[in-house]
């Protein structure tokens, strides 16, 4: 593995940084970032920001030319994601559209669906939400109960989803619903959130606003043409879609930044000479660096078109381990910065409370490593 960046990659990173410098408002870090990337403020802003990226060819560069991209490789796509995450993810929810909803429609969508949605996503103006989880179907997604019943050339949808981030602001929902009696009789539907019978209720939690929503579907009538692929093909479609998410969020960037802030504070208070604190900080920094290298390894495997391995799961577990250790460090040594103010440390803490849950829980990652990576026996 080559650890250096090529000239093209360095130039690309600089181009992305320049775009961030040009497109982010002057009070981005003070006003917007503490609100979280799922807040109404940031989601609204993402429409302008993503349109600005699109105008520079930096929104969907990894898409094929025919859909508005320029077919750039996985490394450039990854560098783009790294810089966005480091800046507090100003694309808001649109990382989903461009990373996996668009590519999934390219593969499974009808010509009409591709024509209707891909240009909208590539323009940066359309917000989607992901309607998968239900009150008793999270890890065990196949237990979902939201039902889509075929009636002539329509489906009638009834049920509810939970934890649907961005739902309050979304234009469209990428919905999973049951279309048969077998466990995996599940189909994918593209639903305008403004359809009569769709309603959203938010609920409070420790994490910042915008993530915690329930979406209710009451006799929602949609044309059969809103289904993606064949009836019952949902499992295959979703497996494909999620494979685009597997490298996950580059958490090491924001983690190292938060650690730096905490260290600066400890230094200012004359407490950083304490060998215990220094040792703990050193271990956290080393763990984030290990997560970074493991993540790069996974991107390298993708670029070389090697088969997927459990290294992606390992990278996520490693990053989460560092995040958890950092959260303990903050609680123990700089607890004041976690209360009563919109400091970046408090923001980091709140945003990372569910880090071991979203996108596949940590236990499930460990299970996959045990079974598929280490070949340990299963029950």
Ligand X SMILES: Cc1cc2nc3c(=O)[nH]c(=O)nc-3n(C[C@H](O)[C@H](O)[C@H](O)COP(=O)(O)OP(=O)(O)OC[C@H]3O[C@@H](n4cnc5c(N)ncnc54)[C@H](O)[C@@H]3O)c2cc1C
Give the catalytic positions in this structure: 245
Contact between 370 and ligand X (CB under 6 A)?
Answer: no
**φ, ψ at 154 (rounded to 5°):** -130, 165
Report, in this order, helix, strand and coil percent for the chain, each rounded to 5.
Answer: 50, 15, 35
Task: Collapse the DSSP code of 158 into the 3-class scheme (helix H, G, I; strand E, B; otherwise coil) and give the result.
Answer: strand
Between 133 and 343, whose beta carbon lies closer to ligand X?
133
Among 49, 108, 132, 296, binds ligand X (CB under 6 A): 132
Read out DSSP for 278-340? HHHHHHHHHHHHHHHHHHHHHHHHHHTTPPP-THHHHHHHHHHHHHHHHHHHHHHH-GGGGSS
Footprint (CB under 6 A) of ligand X, residues 152-181:
163-165
Minimum distance from CB of 144 to ligand X (Å)?
9
Between 72 and 254, whose beta carbon lies closer to ligand X?
254
CA distance 196 to 219: 8
Minimum distance from CB of 278 to ligand X (Å)?
33
Contact between 367 and ligand X (CB under 6 A)?
Answer: yes
Structure letter (DSSP) for residue 102: H
Structure tokens at 308: 């997927």
Q: What angle do CA 256, 48, 54 make, to 5 degrees?
A: 85
Contact between 354 and ligand X (CB under 6 A)?
Answer: yes
CA distance 317 to 35: 27
Footprint (CB under 6 A) of ligand X, residues 178-217:
207, 211
Minimum distance from CB of 163 to ligand X (Å)?
3
Contact region with ligand X (CB under 6 A), list: 132-140, 182-190, 237-245, 331-339? 132-140
* Position of minimal CB gap to ligand X: 138
Between 163 and 329, whose beta carbon lies closer to ligand X?
163
Among 116, 361, 368, 373, binds ligand X (CB under 6 A): 361
Between 46 and 165, whose beta carbon lies closer to ligand X?
165
Burial class (CB in 10 A: 0-12, 13-18, 19+), 67: middle
Strands 186-192 and 147-151: unpaired
Between 33 and 170, whose beta carbon lies closer to ligand X?
170
Contact between 139 and ligand X (CB under 6 A)?
Answer: yes
Instruction: Pinpoint the alpha helices (H) of 125-274.
Output: 234-243, 251-268
Contact region with ligand X (CB under 6 A), list: 53-61, 116-124, 130-138, 258-266? 130-138
Give residues in contact with ligand X (CB under 6 A): 130-133, 138-139, 163-165, 207, 211, 354, 357-358, 361, 363-364, 367
């Amino acid at each position: 593995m080559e650890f250096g960046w090529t000239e093209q990659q360095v130039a690309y990173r600089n181009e992305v940084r320049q775009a961030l410098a040009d497109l982010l408002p002057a009070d981005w870090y003070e006003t917007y970032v503490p609100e979280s990337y799922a807040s109404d403020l940031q989601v609204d802003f993402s429409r302008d920001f993503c349109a600005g990226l699109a105008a520079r060819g930096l929104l969907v560069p990894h898409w094929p030319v025919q859909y508005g991209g320029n077919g750039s490789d996985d490394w450039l796509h990854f560098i783009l994601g790294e810089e966005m995450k480091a800046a507090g993810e100003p694309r808001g929810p649109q990382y989903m559209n461009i990373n996996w909803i668009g590519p999934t429609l390219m593969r499974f969508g009808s010509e009409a669906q591709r024509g209707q949605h891909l240009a909208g996503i590539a323009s940066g103006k359309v917000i989607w939400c992901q309607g998968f989880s239900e009150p008793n179907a999270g890890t065990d997604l196949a237990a979902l109960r939201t039902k889509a019943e075929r009636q002539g050339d329509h489906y009638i949808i009834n049920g509810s989803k939970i934890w649907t981030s961005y739902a309050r602001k979304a234009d469209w929902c990428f919905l999973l619903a049951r279309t048969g009696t077998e466990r995996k009789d599940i189909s994918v539907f593209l639903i305008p959130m403004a359809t009569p019978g769709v309603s959203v209720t938010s609920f409070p939690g420790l994490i910042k606003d915008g993530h915690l929503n329930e979406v209710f579907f009451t006799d929602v009538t949609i044309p059969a043409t809103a289904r993606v692929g064949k009836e019952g093909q949902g499992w295959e479609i979703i497996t494909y879609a999620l494979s685009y998410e597997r490298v996950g969020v580059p958490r090491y960037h924001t983690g190292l930044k938060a650690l730096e802030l905490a260290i600066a504070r400890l230094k200012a208070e004359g407490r950083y000479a304490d060998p215990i604190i220094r040792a703990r900080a050193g271990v956290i920094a080393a763990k984030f660096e290990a997560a970074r290298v493991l993540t790069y390894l996974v991107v390298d495997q993708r670029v070389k078109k090697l088969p997927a391995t459990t290294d992606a799961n390992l990278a996520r577990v490693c990053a989460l381990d560092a995040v958890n250790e950092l959260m303990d460090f903050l609680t123990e040594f700089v607890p004041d910065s976690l209360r009563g103010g919109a400091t970046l440390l408090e923001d980091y803490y709140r945003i990372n409370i569910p880090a071991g849950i979203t996108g596949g829980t940590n236990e499930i990652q460990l299970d996959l490593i045990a079974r598929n990576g280490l070949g340990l026996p299963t029950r």
